[in-house]
Amino acid sequence: MKFCSLTQKDLHAWALSQGLKPYLSKQVFSWVYDKHLFDMSKMSNIKKEERSLLQQTFSLPSLQLVKEIRSEETIKFLWQLEDGHKVESVLIFSGERRTLCISSQVGCRARCAFCASGKKGFFRHLTSYEIVEQALLVNQLLQKTQSRISHIVFMGMGEPLENIDAVLFAIKQFCCPTAFGISPRRITVSTVGIVENMRRLAEENGKVHLVLSLHAPNQHVRKKIIPYARKYPLEDVLEAADLYAAATKRDITYEYILIDGLNAEEEHAKELCQLLQKKQCTVNLIPYNPVDGVRFKRPSAKKIDAFMRILQRAGVPVTRRYTKGAEIAAACGQLAYHEDAPLNLR
């Protein structure tokens, strides 16, 4: 049984079913999630025979670190899964903040035009424990510097709301005080606009921050960038976002990747203002990051500034994301499926 597929309540129920002491689950969670000890035979405050049963019953971890690439402010991790597939996650440093960008799928079915994650197609969803283990293993590495992950963003490989059950479980585990203890307000879920699951997220875990990959001021341009726009019209996506904002009392962040000659002209900025004025939102402008095999270009700094000023003058809250990790292909849109990555390379 995969240990990270269990909540503490699940582990407690298992312990009782085995006739073990009721506080065993708390002890084991402390060893795994606080002390980051994964060898259950070495959990010294648990009886030897109980340790043996735990070791025989549960396995941890299932992910293997294949490759770690560092830049000044980011670390990119390549993980190998038990079936041989590989996924990436990225740790971003900003002052005292430690933000982990987590993957939720192997590849991506959304196949947005600017993004590397879906270029080789979609292979499968990650399991709940594979999502949780990305954070657990990074916390184990951070333990050497006496720090921990402070924020989680579901912005790695994959469309999180396509894998809604596993993502909801992982969010619950990230928020659990005896596991990661991260506030839901420090957890962000990004989506291209899976309308029915935007509504489900509001109903079942309406405290996390929702980010919508908008990237266009109208349906015509959006269909050129995001194939899923054909299934989910912009009008329906914005309605679901409004419902989420109203239900959670939290602003929606609309991400807008600026691509020269496609969506970054002044007329696009003016149309975006009309689309989002009076909405409970913030626009996050993201200059395009290069992806192998994609011919898009980043607009000039002058054009980016002009686009931003138009939104500011219209009273639309706007921020600009400054690229981190591009030099190691860890920036927005650059995470990819690596079938041929060399093993055990640090």
Q: What is the DSSP letter of 327?
A: G
Q: Ramachandran region of residue 153, left (φ > 0), alpha (ψ -120 to 50) or beta? A: beta
- C-alpha–C-alpha distance, residues 258 and 330, integer Å: 18
- C-alpha–C-alpha distance, residues 224 and 221, integer Å: 5
Burial environment of residue 121 by CB neighbours within 10 A (0 to 12, 13 to 18, 19 or more): exposed
Model confidence at 327, pLDDT cuts 50, 70, 90, reads: low
- C-alpha–C-alpha distance, residues 263 and 68, integer Å: 34
- C-alpha–C-alpha distance, residues 132 and 139, integer Å: 11
Average pLDDT, stretch 230-236? 97
Q: What secondary structure does DSSP assign to 33-81, as a single string?
A: IIS----GGG-TTS-HHHHHHHHHH-B----EEEEEEE-SSEEEEEEE-
Contact between 283 and 254 (Cβ < 8 Å): yes
- CA of 302: how far to CAs of 182, 305, 308, 315, 316, in Å? 39, 5, 10, 20, 20
- C-alpha–C-alpha distance, residues 157 and 78, integer Å: 11
Confidence at residue 346, expressed as pLDDT on a 0 to 100 scale:
24
Please write the tens of the pLDDT for every residue from 172-222: 999 999 999 999 999 999 999 999 999 999 998 768 999 999 999 999 999
Mean pLDDT of the residues in the chain = 91
pTM for this predicted structure: 0.90
Contact between 115 and 291 (Cβ < 8 Å): yes
- CA of 11: how far to CAs of 14, 57, 268, in Å? 5, 11, 53
- C-alpha–C-alpha distance, residues 40 and 57, integer Å: 10
| CA 96, chain centre distance (Å) | 20
Please write the tens of the pLDDT for every residue from 83-122: 999 999 999 999 999 999 999 999 999 888 888 777 778 9
- C-alpha–C-alpha distance, residues 222 and 240, integer Å: 17
- C-alpha–C-alpha distance, residues 255 and 222, integer Å: 13
Cβ-count burial 256-292 (b if 16+ within 10 Å, e if not): bbbbbebbbbeebbebbbebbeebbbbbbbbbbbbbe
Please write the tens of the pLDDT for every residue from 47-78: 999 999 999 999 999 999 999 999 889 999 99
- C-alpha–C-alpha distance, residues 16 and 9, integer Å: 11
Which residues belong to the active site?
Answer: 88, 332
Model confidence at 290, pLDDT cuts 50, 70, 90, reads: confident
Question: In this structure, is the dihedral angle defined by the CA atoms of residues 142, 145, 149 and 154, taken in order, positive or negative?
Answer: negative
Please write the tens of the pLDDT for every residue from 291-309: 777 788 999 999 999 999 9
Structure tokens at 262: 């496609």
Please compute Rg for the chain using Cα positions: 21
